Structure 1
Amino acid sequence: MIGESDVGGVFLSSVLITAVIALALSFLIRRLLALVGAYRFVWHPALFDTALFVILWAAVIALPIRLPLS
């Protein structure tokens, strides 16, 4: 995704759109990890959460999906 997307007459950067998608996925995965107790094995939870977000953001950007927002 390069450029901008038109959402209701407002142009949004593709960086913003992919970051919001990655953030939503990050929230879901963090909730699941907390439910199963995986954070007991994590040394630094904030660093782990940041790394998880960066990995998910890279994965969302790497996906060859064109969102029909316009």
Structure 2
Amino acid sequence: MPVEITVFGAVVPTLLPIFAVSVVFYLIADKLTSRWNLDRWVWHPALFRLALFVCVFSLLGLGVYG
């Protein structure tokens, strides 16, 4: 289990690339949910988007560290 990785000579925590990948997955999922108009089914759209990002980031983090 790597705790830190080297990117172009700089040591970065492993969660930083996971964060970047989760942002890409989140943007794709957000585009799909807005295209299918799922915002009308949730109580608070901004809270739903935040929870969606937290779920994506947690799943990718657990995939690496779990």
User: Shorter-chain TM-score: which interval?
Assistant: 0.7 to 0.9
Structure 1, unaligned runs of 5 or more:
66-70
Structure 1 partner of 2:59 = 59
Give the 4+ runs in structure 1 shifted more than 4 A. Answer: none
TM-score by length of 2: 0.84
- Structure richer in helix, relative to its length: 2
Q: Percent identity?
A: 28
- The higher-RCO structure (CA 8 Å, 6+ apart) is 1
Aligned length: 65
CA RMSD of aligned residues (A): 1.7
Structure 2: runs of 5+ lacking an equivalent: none
> Offset of 1:2 from its aligned partner?
3.7
Matched letter for residue 41 of structure 1: W
TM-score (norm 1): 0.80
